[in-house]
Structure 1
Amino acid sequence: MKAVITGTGCYIPKVKKENNKFISNKFLNSDGTAFNSFNTEIIEKFKSITGIVERRYAKNDYTASDLGYFASKKAIENARINAESIDYIIVAHNFGDVKKTGIQSDIIPSLATRIKHLLQIKNPNCVAYDILFGCPGWVEGVIQAQAFIKANIAKKVLVIGTETLSRVIDKHDRDSMIYSDGAGACIVESVETDIETGILGHATQTFSKDEAYHLFFGNSYNKNEDENVRYIKMHGRKIYEFALTNVPQAMKVALDKSNIDIDEVKKVFIHQANEKMDEAIIKRFYRLYKKPVPKDIMPMSIHKLGNSSVATVPTLLDLVLKGKIEGHNLQKGDIFILASVGAGMNINAIVYRY
C-alpha cells in the first residue's frame, strides 16, 4: 500500500501586478523613516535578489477558500475520482479568508469546511480541517495524508494550499512586493502496488527557541496608520540565514531515509520565497553530498507568480506535471523532492518517486 499523488490542480489568479506598479509607493523603514534611495533603485534591487518581475492577486470578490475550491476541482478532475469518495480534506493556509476591504481574517467555519461546501460533498465521513504551519503547510498536509493512509484511516485525501497574502501586506513595507495570491491542490490515494512509488521519505522540524518570531504580525511602518490594523512582517536576513543553514539538512534527512542516491534526483521543488535563497539552498544541499548542482534541477515560478506561501509548491508541481514550465518535465519513475520553510520556523521535505 503506497501513498500516491494521483491528481494535481492549481489556480493562478488573473490580476497581474508588475514591479513598476509599486513606483508610487511610499516605502519606509521599520521605524517610519524614509529611504534614501529612489523607488526605481529599491525595485531594481528587489528584483535582483528575489527574481520577481510580477505577481498575481485574487479578484476583489474571491477569498482564499474560493481559490482553494478552484484548485481542488482541477485536482479531483485530474485524479478522475468521485468527490464523495474523499475521506479527508486538509487545507493549509495562514490567514483564513480575508476580504479585500476587511481588516481581520475569518476562519469560522474552517476553510476546509467552506471548500467541502463549495464542492457540494454530502458525505459526512469526509472530514475537513485546516492546518496552520506557515509556508510549509501544504507539504505537511501531504505528509499527514500519507500517515492517514498508512494507518488505514483513509484511502483518498484532498490536500490544499491556498492564500491571499495581498490582503495582509503593508504598502509602506518594501517586503510587500514579495507576496502574492494563489492555490494548489492534490489528491493523495492509497494504491496497492509492488512498484516502489509515491512518498519514499520525509522530514519535518520546528525551530522555536530563537526563531519563533522571524515572521510575525505587526503594525504598518507608517506611524500615522491605525495601530489596530496589522500586517505580515518578517526579519528577512534572519530567515535567509536560517533557511540556508537548516533546509539543506532537512532535505538530506528525507533523502537518506528514502535510501535514494542523490544522483537519482531529477527535480527539486522548493518553496518560492526568494530566487537567490532557493539557489543557495540547492548549492548547499548538493555540497552535503560533495556533488555539483545538476543543470535544470530546480524549476521556478516566482518570477511571474511571486510568493503565495502554502500555494507555491503545489502550484509549481502542477505546472511541471502538466508541461507548463519550459525545460522541465517528469517521467514515470523519476525521483523528486518537495521542500519548504516558513513561519514557526518550520521546515519539511518529501522524497517522492513519480
Structure 2
Amino acid sequence: MGIKITGIGSFIPDNVESNEDFYKHEFLNSDGTVIHYPNEVIVEKFKDITGIVERRYADNDLNSSDLGYLAAEKAIADANIDPETLDYIIVAHNFGDVKYNTIQSDILPCLASRIKYRLKIKNPKCVAYDILFGCPGWIEGVIQAQAFIKAGMAKRCLVIGTETLSRVVDKHDRDSMIYSDGAGASIIEETTDDSGILAHETASFTYDEAYYLFFGNSNNPNLDPDTKYIKMHGRKIYEFALKNVAEAMKTCLDNSGIGINEVKKILIHQANEKMDEAIIKRFYKLYKMEAPENIMPMSIHKLGNSSVATVPTLLDLIVKNDLENHQINKGDIIILASVGAGMHINAITYRY
C-alpha cells in the first residue's frame, strides 16, 4: 500500500509584474534613510541574487481562497474524482484573504471552509481546516493527509497551498520584489502499488529563529505605524536554510532507504535561486558528491516566491510538461522540500 498524489492542479495569475515595474518605486533602508543607488542598480542586483525576472499578481477581485478554489478544481478534475468523496480539505496559507487595497486579514470563516463552500460539497463529514506553517505549509498538509489515511481516518484528502503575498508587502522595502501570488492543489489517497510517500521529515526551529520572518513597520516612517508588512532577516534565513534544509533532506532520504543516486529531481521551495542552489550543493556534499546537472527544476525566474504555492505549482508544471527540460516519469524518486516562517523545515521522499 502506498499513499500518493493522484491529482495535481495550480492557478497562476495572468498579471505579470516585471522587474522594470519596480524602477518607479521609492526604496528605503530599514531605518527610513535613502538608498544611494538608482533603482536600476538595485533591481539588477536583486535579479542576480534571487534569479527573479518577473512575478505574478492576482486580479484585484480575487483573494487567496479564490485562487485556492481554482487550483482545487483542476486537481479534482485531474484525479477524476467526485468532490463529495473527500474526507479532508487542508488549506495552507499565511495571511488569509486580504482584499486588494486593504490592510485587514480575513480568516472568518477559515479558507478551507470557503473553498469547500465554493466546491458545493454537501458532505458534513468532509472536514475543512487551515494550517499556518509558513512556506512549508503545503508539504506539511500532504504529510498530515498521509497520517489521516494511514490511521484509517480518511481515504481521500485535498491539500491546497494558496497565497496573495502582493497584498502584504512594503513597497519601500527591496525584499518586496521577491513575493508573488498563486495557488497549488493536490488530491492525496491510498494506492495499491508502491508509489507515493516513502518518508518525511519535519522540524520547527524557534529558540533563536522564530522571528527571522515577522510582521513589521514600513521602511517609510511617514506611513501609519499600526500597519504591518511582511519582513525578513534575509542573511539569517539564508544561513539557517543552507545548513538545516540540507540536513533535513538527508534524514528524509536516508529514512526512505533510497540511495542518493536514485534521486531524479529535487523540488525545493522557490525562495531564492542562489539560496536553493547552495542548499542543493550542500545536500550532495553531505554524501561527498557533486550535485548532478538539471536535478533542481526552477520556476522562480518567472513566477517569484508565492510561499505555500511554489512547490505544488512547480510539481504541476513538470507533470503537465509545462516546464522546459524537466520531466518526471513513472517510478522516479523525487524529493520535495521547503523552509519558511516559524522557522519550519520539511521534506518528503516520494516515488512517482
TM-score by length of 1: 0.99
| Aligned-partner SS, 2:32 | coil
- Partner residue, 2:270: 272
Equivalent residue, structure 2, for 1:121 = 121
Q: Deviations over 1:290-339 (max 9, x none)?
A: 11111110000000000000000000000000100011001100000000
Which residue in 1 is equivalent to 2:70? Answer: 70
Distance 1:244 1:301 in 2: 20
Cα RMSD for the two superposed structures: 0.5
Segments ≥4 residues shifted beyond 6 Å:
none
- Displacement, 1:102? 1.2
Deviation for aligned residue 1:190:
1.4
SS at match of 2:125: coil
Give the letter for the 2:235 counterpart.
R
Give 1:35 deviation, angstroms: 0.6
- 1:155: which partner in 2? 155
Describe how 1:177-196 pairs up with structure 2 within 5 A.
177-191=177-191, 193=192, 195-196=193-194
Equivalent residue of 1:101, what SS?
coil
Distance apart, 1:24 and its partner CA: 1.0
2:295 equivalent in structure 1: 297
CA apart distance, 1:101: 1.7
How many residue pairs match? The answer is 352
CA distance in 1 between counterparts of 2:4 and 2:80 reads: 14
Q: Deviations over 1:162-195 (max 9, x none)?
A: 000000000000000000000000000012x2x3
1:51 maps to amino acid:
G
Matched, 1:328 2:326: yes
Within the candidate set 167, 179, 204, 1:206 is matched to: 204
SS in 2 for 1:263: helix
2:95 equivalent in structure 1: 95
1:282 and 2:295 matched: no
**Structure 1 residues 123-132 or 195-204, which shifts more?**
195-204
| Deviation string, structure 1 residues 75-100 (Cα, Å, up to 9, x no partner) | 00000000000000000000000000
1:5-154 to structure 2, matched below 5 A, reads: 5-154=5-154
CA distance in 1, matches of 2:131, 2:333: 27
Which of 254, 274, 283 is equivalent to 2:252? 254
For 1:202, what is the secondary structure of its paired residue?
A: strand
Letter in 2 for 1:310: V
Q: CA deviation at 1:37?
A: 1.0
Q: Distance in 2 between matches of 1:259 and 1:266?
A: 15
Q: Distance in 1 between matches of 2:278 and 2:225?
A: 37
* One-letter amino acid of the structure 2 residue matched with residue 255 of structure 1: L
Question: 1:349 aligns to what?
Answer: 347
SS of the residue corresponding to residue 203 of structure 1 reads: strand
What is the TM-score when the length of structure 2 is the normalising length? 0.99
Q: Secondary structure at the match of 1:159?
A: strand
Q: How far is the alpha carbon of 1:196 from its aligned partner?
A: 2.0
Alignment partner, residue 173 of structure 1: 173
Distance in 1, matches of 2:162 and 2:86, equals 19
Tell me the distance in 1 between the aligned counterparts of 2:140 and 2:243.
20
Q: Following TM superposition, by how much is the alpha carbon of 1:159 offset from its aligned partner in structure 2, in angstroms? A: 0.2
1:239 aligns with 237
CA-CA distance at 1:104 after TM superposition: 1.1
- The Cα of 1:199 is off from its aligned counterpart by 0.2
- Whole-angstrom CA distance in 2 between matches of 1:13 and 1:72: 15
CA distance in 2, matches of 1:257, 1:197: 16
> C-alpha distance in 2, partners of 1:341/1:173?
22
1:223 aligns to what? 221
Q: Matched residue of 2:317: which SS?
A: helix
